[in-house]
Each structure stands twice: as C-alpha cells, then as structure tokens.
Structure 1
Amino acid sequence: MSATAQQWLEDIRRLELTDKIRIMNVCGGHERSITTAGLRTLLPENIELIPGPGCPVCVCPEEDIYEAIQLALNEEITLVAFGDMLRVPVNVKKGEIRSLDEAKSAGADIRPIASPTEAVKIAKENPDRPVVFFAAGFETTTAPVAAMVAEGIPDNLLLLVSARLTWPAVAMLLESDTPGFDALIAPGHVSTVMGPEEWQFVVEQHNIPAAIAGFNPESLVAAFYSVLRQLKDQRYFLDNCYPQVVVEGGNRGAKQMLEQVMEVYDANWRGIGTIPNSGFRLNPSYAAHDARQQLPDYSDEARRRAGQMPPGCDCAKVVLGRLYPNQCKLYGSACTPRNPIGPCMVSDEGACRIWWAGGIREQQVANG
C-alpha cells in the first residue's frame, strides 16, 4: 500500500469517530480492491464497509438468462456472451439445463467473449449464421456496445440486451424505509462515462455524504476519509476522489452513443424486482438487430417474480447490502466458486466470489 494511502488511514483514525458508521461501496470493482488490499482490517472497528448492487452478472434477470439458454438450444444460432454469464444458474427442475455452460456442453454453439468487437468478428466469420450477443452489463459495458451498433454491425449480428443503470438501484435503497448505510462510495468507472453529476441526488435528496473513488487503495481510502469527515463536520457534499478520469459531464461521446442506440425503461433486477428507469434496451429504430424482435420468443413471464434466486440463496440480500456474503446459509458449504448456487458466487464482481477469493471461508451468523 502506498504511503499516501497510509496517511489517509492515519487521518481517519485522527477523526476519533466512535459511532458505528456504515459506508456502502456500490461497485464490484471497489469491493475487489477493498478485499484484496485488506482495507476492512485496517479501518477502525466501528466503520463497516458494505458491498452494494454493483455486479451486473448478479442482478441480470433470471428470465433473460433462461431466454438466452433456450435460444441457444432451440435455434440455429451462435450465442456469444461475456465469460461470467456462462456459469450463472437459473431455477429449473433437477436434470434440466441450468446455465449457458451446460447448454454448451449439450451441443449449443455458445462462445465466451471479452469485448463487443469479438462479437463483430465472429459474425463476420459466419455470415450465413445468426450470431446473438447476450449483452449484459452496466453503463461502462453498454456504452461500447452502443458505439459498436451506431458505427454499423453485420446484418447477421443480433443483440439480446440485458443492461442496467447503476444509480436507480442506489436511489431505490435510499428511498426504502431502511437504507442500511450512512455514506456512499460511488463507482469511478460509471462516473467516468456518465459524469459525477449523476450522484448529486444522494446528497441533495437524501442528505447523505458521497464520494467518487477509483480502484487503487489511495483513491478508496481518500474517499472513505472524505465521507467520514463530512459526517463528523455535518457538512455533506459530493466529493470527486478520482479526478484523474472523472470530469464534469462525463464522456459526452459515450453518452451520445447510449442516447442514440438505447432507450431507458423500467427494468427487472434479479432478486429485487422492477426498478423505475433502470434498464437499457435497443431503440426501436435498431429493431433489425434486436434478437427479441427477429427470433422466436422464448421469454417466460413466470420467471419475472422478485426474489427469483435458488432456494436458500441470499444473493438478493447481499446485493442490497443487507447481509455480508458469509452470512448466507449456503456460503462456503453448498455454494462455492466451483459449484455456485447463486450469481454472487459466479462473477469476479460478485461479493461472495470476491470474499471467497480473499480467503474468507468461515460463515458468520447474521444479526437478527
């Protein structure tokens, strides 16, 4: 850890805060950095760092994953998706195919990709076969997808979009009766694209301190100090602790592409339910590349129920910051990275997977 980060930690200790303070870090990348650097063990014991809803794989609706599986199994297509999506399980009867990985093993043409450009490459290499890109992600993933579509893609490349915006989930938590946190660390990468202004509502509408952080310990600990100092002084504002890349207005080109190619709608989040204005879908003017418009309908409306996690799985509570990963009854026993039951144990941005990789193997009894 850099000396500067150590100095921020010393400054935090000098604040001499005694009340219990809960800080939510929205981003899965932040949670990975916090756990890898052992920041929870370095902060005063009264300061809790709570993982938030910033894992796109974890909140991708079960019905969308099920639809992707059925398309791959029943249509003469090639389906491509970001690697983590292939292992996310859905709820089906025993013996039925429960993930894209299992569908691939059953003979479906499913390929993992790391970037949208790979989807274009595969479509160009297979001009006589429909290629469906299952595009799940938040703003930073969706902006390159939108740019790719705006620039022009092969006629045989279709998109099955399951993209989400980050801030509406935080707004939903803050508007609930029990938000569960006293300060917010906003995601640096999302703010790079959308601009820091998106998070101003946290301070102005909810009177809660907020800071935007990058992904190294120095930026994160600076953000922790900022919100803790704001609480001590009772003077709340949005602090940009990632000024190297987060600037006023964000990335205007990326935002323009999103506005051109996507439209915002009320979207379902796995285990949570419908959140207003929280989803991206293709603008109707791009219907020729919309898999839902061009291919048979395999959606299953019965799967839209909130709380659609596997039996006994507490991923929804983990995503909402209401349980720590190791407070789930399945953590480390039935549910491990080798055999994930819930989505939070699948993704590198899922809190359960991050905690397991960080060496946290013991279960903890949840209070209450």
Structure 2
Amino acid sequence: MSLTARQWLQKIRQLSLPKKVRIMNVCGGHERSITQAGLRTALPDNIELIPGPGCPVCVCPEEDVYEAIQIALNEDVILVAFGDMLRVPVNVSKSEARSLEEARAIGADIRPVASPAEVVRIANEHPDKEVIFFAAGFETTTAPVAAMLAEGAPDNLLLLLSGRLTWPAVAMLLASDEPGFDCLVAPGHVATVMGSEEWRFVVEQHNIPAAVAGFNNESLLAAIYSTLRQRLEDRPFLDNCYPELVSKAGNPRAKQHLYNVMEVIDAKWRGIGVIPSSGFGLREAWQPHDARQKYASYQDEARKRAGKMPPGCDCARVVLGKIYPTECKLYGAACTPRHPIGPCMVSDEGACRIWWSHVRKPAA
C-alpha cells in the first residue's frame, strides 16, 4: 500500500539530517505543485527546495521571440504559438512591439494554440496563407511537434523551432564550480517521453542522489525522501518515484518521431548563453517546413538581440537556482504578472509567476 503525503512527511521528519540539504526540482510543474501545496513550509527547515531550469518559456532566446515578432509584423502570414509565448517580453524601445501580444494588438495575425493538432487545423483552414508555428518547449512538447511533421503536415505549415533538452542545463550546473544543490528531483513529464535513464549521469558522473517524481504530493515527497536517504547513507542511485508513467526507456514512438525529424544541436538559453547539445533543429529532409529557411533575412545580425535580460532583471539567476524569485529587485515592484519585465513572471511554469500566485508577494 502506498504512503500518504502525511506519512511521507513523517518519515522525512524522522531522518537525522545534516544542517542543510539543498534539493533542486528541475520541472516548472513540480515547482507549481510544491508551492500550491505549501511543501516548503511543511518540510523541516534544513531542507531547501530550489527551483531549477524547468521553464521553456523562460529560457527561449530573446532573438527567437524578436524574430517571430518581426516575421508576424512584416509578412503576410498567420503566426501561432503556445499561449504563454505571446506575453514574453523582449528588450526593445517603448516605440516597438515588445511581445507577440503587442504585435497582435497593432495588426499582426497571431493566434494562441494549445496543441499541434490545432496548428494543423488552422493551416488546413487557410490553405492560401503560410501558417508559422513558433514552437518553443522542452522534450515533452517538442516530441508532439515532431510527430506533427512526421505524420504529414500541410505544405503551408512552417516551423519556427525553439526546442530545448532539459538535462544539458543540469549537466552544465553540475560541471560548474558551484552547482548549488546536493540532490536532484528529475522531471516526470520529460522522463515520461525520454525515459528515466536520461538522468543516470547525475548519479554516475557526479555522485549526487536523484529521483524522478510525478506531480502529486505523494510522488514529490517520496522523491524528496529517497534523495535524502541516499545522501544520508552515501549511496546515490537513480530512483523512479513515478512508475505509473515513467519507464527506463520512455516512449519509443515519441522518441522515434523526435529523432527522425530533428537533430540535437548547440543552442542558446536566454540570459545563460550557449549550452552544447541542448537544442533541436530540423533535419535536412524536413527543411521545406523550416521558417528560418524561407525567412532567412530575419536572422541577420542587425535583426538579432543580444539575448540579455532587461536591466535589473535576474531571471537568468532564478532559472539556474542561484537566487529565489523574491531576491530579484524587480520582483513585485516593476515586474508583476500584469506587467512582466522578465520571462519568469510570464509563464505558469516560471518560478516568479508561481511564487507571485502561491507563495510570497511583497508588502503593499
């Protein structure tokens, strides 16, 4: 019989822990579950839960967002994107559209979508127009995008791809002088697609406890307990606390589509820089659907942005788990969900937005 959340908490409280143990949760969905349930206040004070690089909207390069804005404004196309992407700001002058939402307000045909199936429907309904899908996301959303192409996308559907892999960002942190965490809770959704074995490097190469977790309190607390036990016993291993959906190999069909349609490339993360082998690009056979092939001029250096965060914005350090959202000077002052300065305040998976909604708001 599986344990309840209360029972897992009791087991955690019975552990003889050192003064502080830092556990990074990679997934934005995990951070939302943790904050909604108030797990930080329920756990012993010496357990520190650190939100990590689990928000694809937050790390989408500024030049990719700017490129999408400019194509939508200057070409006779329909541009579609997942809803959160419409509000991601770029660092431009006040006279320019600083988000896809603002570009839509001044006349660009930009539409939010929830799935690749919706994108295909829009393309079929408008055969006389090019439909450009600005597809930003991690493996969980990039695999269905690959399947959309593999299963036969309409000729008028082009892809402006900004897909990223999750694990290379964690590998970069672990390779640094100060990774900032002692244990890792690996993302359940990504592991459902890619398999739990993708995270074995954390244990084998860095001797750090790791556990894959689901999104309810029981699975998250089981993963936290597992990593704490591993650390106490000095016996790191990769635990799967989400066996209902996660297997070692993941989803073979989803991975087949992903790697048949796309190849792994070096990719830029906003505010962080280039992380080797952390992005997806379309393979040559699928380049007729590549918007960057058709609209190559929008990649000119003069059209690109440096990729830096706006002045004073600490989203990059929040994403890397170096600071908490409330430690950013703009949080709750200049930067709020209604008027976001940085991308972490936009997305439902961004730590700043999550903390604003569920944890801590600055005093009035």
| TM superposition score category, shorter chain reference | over 0.9
Counterpart residue number, 2:202: 202
Q: What per-residue deviation string (whole Å, max 9, x for no partner) do you get for residues 85-126 of structure 1?
A: 000000111221100000000100000000011110000000
- Give, as a single letter, the amino acid of the residue that structure 1 aligns with 2:106: A
Per the alignment, residue 353 of structure 1 pairs with 353
Compute the displacement of 1:75 (Å).
0.4
**Which residue is equivalent to 2:245?**
245
2:63 touches 2:306 (CA, 8 Å); kept in 1? no
| Residue 300 (structure 1) shift | 4.9
Q: Which residue identity is paired with 1:109? A: D
How far off its partner does 1:304 sit?
Answer: 5.9
**C-alpha deviations, 1:126-178, integer Å up to 9, x for none?**
00000000000000000001011000011000000000000000000000011
Partner-residue secondary structure (3-state), 2:26: strand
The residue number in structure 1 matching 2:309 is 309
Q: TM-score, normalised by structure 2?
A: 0.97
Q: Can you give the 5+ residue segments of structure 1 that lack an aligned partner in the other structure?
A: 364-368
Question: Does the CA-based 8 Å contact 2:264-2:281 persist in structure 1?
Answer: yes
In 2, the alpha carbon distance for the partners of 1:7 and 1:304 equals 50
SS in structure 1 of the partner of residue 180 of structure 2:
coil
After superposition, give the CA deviation of every residue in 1:230-288 in whole Å (9 maximum; x if it has no partner). 11111110000000010121100000000110111000000000000000111111111
Contact kept in structure 2, 1:268 and 1:304, CA below 8 Å: no
- Alpha-carbon distance in 1 for matches of 2:31, 2:280: 24
CA distance in structure 1 between the partners assigned to 2:236 and 2:224 by the alignment: 13
Match of 1:26 in 2: 26
Would the alpha carbon gap of residues 7 and 282 (structure 1) be closer, same or farther in structure 2, given more than 3 Å must change? same
Query: CA 1:199 to 1:359, structure 2 compared with 1: closer, same or farther past 3 Å?
Result: closer
| Maintained 8 Å contact 2:66/2:305 | no
Cross-structure match for 2:275: 275
Structure 2 partner of 1:75: 75
Correspondence for 1:165:
165
| Identical-pair percentage | 73
Find the residue that maps to 2:265 and give its secondary structure: strand
- C-alpha distance in 1 between matches for 2:25 and 2:102: 33
Give the residue type in structure 2 aligned to 1:132: I
> Does the Cα contact within 8 Å between 1:100 and 1:110 map onto a contact in 2?
yes
Match of 2:319 in 1: 319
Question: 1:286-345 CA deviation, whole Å, 9 max, x = no partner?
Answer: 111000012242125474646x10100000000000000010000001000000000000
1:107 maps to what in 2?
A: 107
State the one-letter code of the partner of 2:134.
F
For the residues of structure 2 that align with 1:235 and 1:305, how far apart are their CA atoms? 43
Give me the whole-angstrom Cα distance separating, in 1, the residues matched to 2:194 and 2:297: 33
- TM-score calculated relative to the size of structure 1: 0.96
* Partners of 1:149 and 1:181 in 2: CA distance: 39
- Which residue of structure 2 lines up, in the alignment, with residue 366 of structure 1? none
Aligned equivalent of 1:225: 225
Q: Determine if contact 1:66/1:299 at 8 Å carries over to the other structure.
A: no
Check the 8 A contact 1:5/1:221 in 2, yes or no.
Answer: yes
1:347/1:300 CA distance change after superposition, 3 Å: farther
Matches of 1:186 and 1:283, distance apart in 2: 28
Question: Are positions 1:178 and 2:193 aligned together?
Answer: no
Number of equivalent positions = 361
Q: 2-side partners of 1:8 and 1:191: how far apart?
A: 23
Do 2:211 and 2:240's aligned partners in 1 also have CA atoms closer than 8 Å? yes
Tell me the distance in 2 between the aligned counterparts of 1:127 and 1:174. Answer: 48
Offset of residue 16 of structure 1:
2.3
Contact 2:192 2:251 in 1 (8 A): yes
Q: Which amino acid letter does the alignment assign opposite residue 268 of structure 2? A: N
Query: Is this contact kept in 2: 1:27–1:52, CA < 8 A?
Result: yes
Q: Where does residue 211 of structure 1 map in the other structure?
A: 211
- Does residue 151 of structure 1 match 2:147? no
The RMSD of aligned alpha carbons is 1.2
Counterpart Cα distance in 1 of 2:306 and 2:167: 22
Structure 2: runs of 5+ lacking an equivalent = none
Which runs of at least 4 in structure 1 moved beyond 3 Å after TM superposition?
A: 300-306
